[in-house]
Structure 1
Amino acid sequence: MIVIGAGLGGLALANGLRGTGVDVAVYERDASPAIRGQGYRLHLGDLGIDALASVLAPERWAAFLAAAHTPKPRFVRLDPALRVLEEHDFGGRHLSVDRQELRDTLLADVKGLVTYGKRLIAFEAEAGHVTACFDDGTTATGDVLVGADGVGSAVRRQHLPHARVVGTGLTQLYGKIPRESAEDLDHVFSAVTGPRHRVVGIALTRDYATFSFSARAEDLPPEPHLLRSLVMEMTYGWHPRIRQMITEWYDVFPLALRTSVPIAPWDTTRVTLLGDAAHAMSPAGGAGANLALRDAAGLAAALAGDRPLIAELRSYEREMIDSGFAAVRASAADGARILGQDPLPAGHEADPVT
């Protein structure tokens, strides 16, 4: 089996297939696992926790769980004066983890299966197998090809050319602040919402707190050196604590937020998708990493099943499509309400692929 992409979903899938008799080869376009920033804190709820526990070796899972941070299970929205506007108690289990630590954990037992510097340019599907073609002229052949290559998926572009990924109209600035600056805001997520949908997001991990700022893309310049001063201008008159956090902000980078547009189920073949390659979404719902891990665990179970391969893949895809696109819609609704995200465009859900 060929997996394109060594992000969270692709590595979780490789872990889930260890010892099942399924041969796995993972191909990653980056030259190494540390060549670019992947973001900071991730939230895992029941769905992601169960999926991660199911794919990791027991001792690896125990070590990861012991090092993870457990926030209070609630979402809190405040105004710029830090008065509480709404609170939601989620219940259940929640972990706040560092993305790189999670990726390192997922890589530890499967690093020998990953080849770096392999950018997919096309695939060729024939009876009984699929061949991946890379930009260095090499190829790889397997009985299944999995696109775990993120929001810009090369696999999706060829496999589902009618599937769209669109901008949300928002840019989010991600960074860190010292943990002690936000100790009393130790929730799953705290959002400080101001005029014109300008939003500060705060969440703690074991070692630091993430601090994000989102606004309409047209309000934020592309020049990184201007971002901090502009955020200070946009938060003029906000509570002094927020202003102080901005002065402590470090390792800041901008990200244009994008989302998939839901489509109808497609015919199942030996090419499939997982995670953001299938259903990228606004971060407003905090569901992306959880769904990628759930997809990986579900696909691992399907590939190790005893039914005919296409039947197993079809069962996996129906669940992945239904729950993935439901989360896309829910995240878009939350993104519109809290962040000022553009409405989700109409898709092609009434036009299934036949």
Structure 2
Amino acid sequence: MKVIVIGAGLGGLALANGLRGTGVDVAVYERDASPVTRGQGYRLHLGDVGIDALASVLAPERSAAFLAAAHTPTPRFVRLDPALRVLEERDFGGRHLSVDRQELRDALLADVKGLVTYGRRLTAFQAEGEQVIARFDDGTTATGEVLVGADGAGSAVRRQYLPHARVVGTGLTQLYGKIPREPAEDLDHVFSAVTGPCHRVVGIAHTRDYATLSFSARTKDLPPEPHLLRSLVMEMTSGWHPRIRRMLADWREIFPLALRTSVPIAPWDTTRVTLLGDAAHTMSPAGGAGANLALRDAASLAAALAGGRPLIPELRSYEREMLRSGFAAVRACAADGARILGQDPLPAGDEAEPVA
């Protein structure tokens, strides 16, 4: 069996790793020209779900080395006001790691480099009997028995396969950047949020080598010109604690990202085309769950494809659980996003079971 994976992000690469050496042929196609073409973020949170999934798909020695080098924050969420008075604390159980996104991607790419083709943007696919043909913008095609959309929130696979599935804006834009660890050393938690008026939020989280600093605000309150963002953030945080102001003054490598979310839908009739990660269930970053679920989807799908059991029942079982857990996380992250970040309410979806 050959599996075509569209997208070489975390989920697509994790799936390729999980299938490597199982007897399943896998080919990954990525629209970007290289793995470092565009900035996609810095620090990621991994909990038990992501850690276990990563360990199941990577070679044991590579998984052990990567996880051992990751940063372990205090397992707590802390929310503070602009004077740095604690408003809320929440302790977490289980394991929690903070990792650099590019380092994680490098670890996932190391053993499957030869399976990835860059610079291929999917334009369409079609099913013919027991095969699926993927068509790319350079005129080339790829044929396999299964096509997996691992191509993120803007998934081309989802747009054709499930045109009724919606990904909507949250009304928020988040600015991501880095600061040195030292100014925020005592805020080394899974996540710290400094919440001010009008749902303007400074987020802080550490990695081994740096801390990330994010700023969230209503999109309408931020200018479209990137060079004005830093000065506007300084204006919006006027009067905040001097430590926060110093962190913002040290802010570097900043880029904006409009926050989006999927609207939950009902399970679809299973075919040889399927989805994983953000292509299926994009969610607010408020819950820190997106990377974890993409990795779990990949590990679960690899087990379904490599087990040698009848294909469609295995894919159906994978999809039902992926959608159940994925949309549960979408709803939970939307609730946290509304409470902490002030994002728009999650629109009502259609989650009724399809009629047989």
What TM-score does the superposition give when structure 2 sets the normalisation length? 0.98
Output aligned runs, 1:39-58, within 5 Å. 39-58=41-60
Give secondary structure in 1 for the equivalent of 2:25.
Answer: coil
Output aligned runs, 1:250-265, within 5 Å. 250-265=252-267
The aligned amino acid for 2:68 is: A
Q: Which residue of 1 aligns with 2:36?
A: 34
Q: 1:350 Cα deviation (Å)?
A: 2.7
Output aligned runs, 1:66-145, within 5 Å. 66-145=68-147
Deviations, residues 51-88 of structure 1 (Å, cap 9, x unaligned): 00000001101110121100010000000000000100
The aligned amino acid for 2:167 is: V
Give secondary structure in 2 for the equivalent of 1:80.
Answer: coil
**Structure 2, gaps ≥5 residues long:** none
What CA distance in whole angstroms lies between the structure 1 residues aligned with 2:47 and 2:152?
21
The aligned amino acid for 1:51 is: A
2:345 corresponds to 1:343: yes
What CA distance in whole angstroms lies between the structure 2 residues aligned with 1:136 and 1:126?
21
The aligned amino acid for 2:34 is: S
Contact 1:265–1:353, Cα closer than 8 Å, also in 2: no
The aligned amino acid for 1:113 is: L
Give secondary structure in 2 for the equivalent of 1:210.
Answer: strand
Contact 1:68–1:95, Cα closer than 8 Å, also in 2: yes
Q: Which residue of 1 aligns with 2:187?
A: 185
Q: Which residue of 1 aligns with 2:21?
A: 19
The aligned amino acid for 2:246 is: Q
Q: Which residue of 2 aligns with 1:277?
A: 279
Give secondary structure in 2 for the equivalent of 1:19.
Answer: coil
Deviations, residues 227-285 of structure 1 (Å, cap 9, x unaligned): 11100110111000000001000000000000000000111000000000000000001
Q: 1:307 Cα deviation (Å)?
A: 1.9
What CA distance in whole angstroms lies between the structure 2 residues aligned with 1:58 and 1:307?
25
What CA distance in whole angstroms lies between the structure 2 residues aligned with 1:251 and 1:70?
23
Contact 1:267–1:353, Cα closer than 8 Å, also in 2: no
Q: Which residue of 2 aligns with 1:316?
A: 318
Contact 1:41–1:96, Cα closer than 8 Å, also in 2: yes
Give secondary structure in 2 for the equivalent of 1:24.
Answer: strand
Q: Once the two structures are aligned, what percentage of the paired residues are identical?
A: 88
What CA distance in whole angstroms lies between the structure 1 residues aligned with 2:97 and 2:76?
12
Q: Which residue of 2 aligns with 1:229?
A: 231
Q: 1:353 Cα deviation (Å)?
A: 6.8
What CA distance in whole angstroms lies between the structure 1 residues aligned with 2:181 and 2:19?
37
Count of residues in correspondence between the two structures: 354
Q: Which residue of 2 aligns with 1:294?
A: 296
Identify the match of residue 173 of structure 1 among 164, 172, 175: 175
What CA distance in whole angstroms lies between the structure 1 residues aligned with 2:224 and 2:214?
16
Contact 1:266–1:353, Cα closer than 8 Å, also in 2: no
Deviations, residues 292-341 of structure 1 (Å, cap 9, x unaligned): 00000000000011320001101100000000000000000000000000
What CA distance in whole angstroms lies between the structure 2 residues aligned with 1:214 and 1:351?
36
What CA distance in whole angstroms lies between the structure 2 residues aligned with 1:172 and 1:93?
26
Contact 1:130–1:143, Cα closer than 8 Å, also in 2: yes
What CA distance in whole angstroms lies between the structure 2 residues aligned with 1:228 and 1:168?
22
Q: 1:351 Cα deviation (Å)?
A: 6.3
The aligned amino acid for 1:59 is: E
What CA distance in whole angstroms lies between the structure 2 residues aligned with 1:72 and 1:246?
23
The aligned amino acid for 1:95 is: L
Identify the match of residue 11 of structure 2 among 9, 12, 17: 9
The aligned amino acid for 1:2 is: I
What CA distance in whole angstroms lies between the structure 2 residues aligned with 1:3 and 1:306?
19
What TM-score does the superposition give when structure 1 sets the normalisation length? 0.99
Output aligned runs, 1:195-206, within 5 Å. 195-206=197-208
**Structure 1, gaps ≥5 residues long:** none
What CA distance in whole angstroms lies between the structure 1 residues aligned with 2:184 and 2:248?
12
